[in-house]
Every structure is written in structure tokens, then in C-alpha cells.
Amino acid sequence: MSSLTLSSSPTVTVRISSSLNSFTAEKRLDRGLTLAELKCKLELVVGSPASCMDLQLYSTENAFLLNLDQDDALLGSYPVDDGCRIHVIDKSGARIGEYEDLSMVEKYEISEDTYEKRSDSVRSFLKKNKLGKFNEEDAQQKQAEQNRKLEEERLVAESITHGARCEVRVAGQPTKRGTVMYVGLADFKPGYWVGVKYDEPLGKNDGSVEGKRYFTCTPKYGAFVKPQYVMVGDYPEEDYGLDDEM
């Protein structure tokens, strides 16, 4: 058996592994613990009964050092240094990973009607304090604001004519010219949208979004923008000199 040593440090930080689990936990332990007391502490870490444990000590390089087999011996009487690993071998007959399989845990279930009647639930708290979806006044205000914005978008959208020339002016982005190809509601996001075919490949699509086609154009020439960013007017297509002779 390896010679026993005693460290002057009152505590030691070690890694705990187990034959029952795949994870490793780090614990700070008192060197004054007996191995019997240590096993009791490790019950909550690895899930194995203290009476069914064998302990092994590994170095910081994961090399096996010795068995910790004297229950009345102090942890500090063994060559346990910071970073060492104590491996717990379970002898209870439990299966590997048994304590990690949550499907084996019986789940508490409650009916919707019973939960609705409880006075100590989160739902009851939200109702009493008129929070979240139970704040009718706040919900009505939000709905009214959404309706107001939708009506503003509708009025602006009605002023935009299909086939009109336009400029798209979004703050922080360069102005883009194109032709209005679609005006109306869309499935991909709420509200009114204007489909524009740009004069240059500055768009994001070909007039279709999420499998639904709203208009047709060359890929990367199409885009959808909110009505307030579309300025209709006499905007001729700019000559970028692409056909000039070199």
C-alpha cells in the first residue's frame, strides 16, 4: 500500500466521478472528514448509497493512485491534492446512467380545471395583479395601438399605385429606385407591404417569400418594404454606364 501523507491545508478541491454517471463534479472538501463521512456527502452528488460505495483516488493527470478503503481514516491522511479525482464505484446494482434518465422520473400532472381553481399558482398571481395577458386595459391599449398603426399603413398603401416608379428611402441605407409591383397585406408578416422591383440587384428575393409569390422579377431584384418608406414619383431609371464602350 502507498505511504500515507498529511497536508497542512485544511481543505482540498477535487473532482468527483462515478460509475453511475457520465458527468464530473468539482467539490471543495474538508480534509478532516473521515471517509465514512465523505461517502455520506457524496450520496447527493452521485446518487449511490454510502454503504454501496468504493472510492478510488486518481492524480491530477488521471493516473490511478490507490483505493480509499479505510472508512475511519481522514481524507487528509491520503495524498489528495487540488485537482485530484475521487472515483465512486457503485455496488448497489444500479444501471449506468439510471440517475440521468429523466424519463424514468414520475411526473406530477394536474388537470386544467384543478389548476384554474388553485389560489397559489402563477396564473392566480397574474390574475390578482392584472399582469401579462390578464391586464385587460393594457391589452386593449396595445390592440388599439396596433389598429392605429395598421390604419395608417393602409392609408399610405392606398396612395401607392401598382406599376408606379418609386424611391425606397430607409434611414441608414442608400436610396434605391425601382418599380412598384405589389401593394397589400402579406402572409410573412403582419401589416401592409409594398413589393418593389429594384433597378439594380439590391433586393432580397424574386418577388416570392416563404413559397408564396406576390410578383415576378429577377432574383435579388425584389424586396418588400413598409409603405412609409416608399416615395412615388417621376424617378427614371438611372444610367450606370454599363453599356458604355471601353
**pLDDT exceeds 90 at position 189:** yes
* Domain limits, CATH 2.30.30.190, in the chain: 165-232
On average, the pLDDT of the chain sits at: 86
User: What's the pTM?
Assistant: 0.45
What integer pLDDT is reported at residue 4 of this predicted model?
Answer: 46
CA distance 146 to 133: 16
- What's the CATH fold of domain 11-90? Ubiquitin-like (UB roll) (3.10.20)
Of 145, 136, 143, 229, which is closest to residue 180 (Cα–Cα)?
Answer: 229
Checking if the pLDDT of 117 tops 70, the result is: yes
Average pLDDT over residues 101-111: 69
C-alpha 142/C-alpha 149 separation (Å) is 11
136: pLDDT confidence band, cut at 50, 70 and 90?
A: confident
Per-residue pLDDT, averaged over 104-129, amounts to: 80
Q: What is the CATH number of domain 165-232?
A: 2.30.30.190
Predicted confidence band of residue 1 (pLDDT cuts 50, 70, 90): very low
Q: Indicate if the alpha-carbon torsion angle 69, 71, 72, 75 is positive or negative.
A: positive
What pLDDT does residue 191 have? 93
pLDDT at 110: 81
Give the tens place of pLDDT for each residue, 150-186.
999 999 999 999 999 999 999 999 999 999 999 999 9
Among the ranges given (15-19, 35-39, 145-149, 240-244), the one the predictor scored with the smallest mean pLDDT: 240-244
Residues 38-53 have a mean pLDDT of 90
pLDDT tier for residue 102 given thresholds of 50, 70 and 90: low
How far apart, in whole angstroms, are the C-alpha atoms of residue 42 and residue 161? 75
Q: Is the pLDDT of residue 9 over 80?
A: no
Give the long-range contacts of residues 201-204, CB within 8 A, separation 24 or more: 202/176
Grid coordinates representing 17 are 466521478
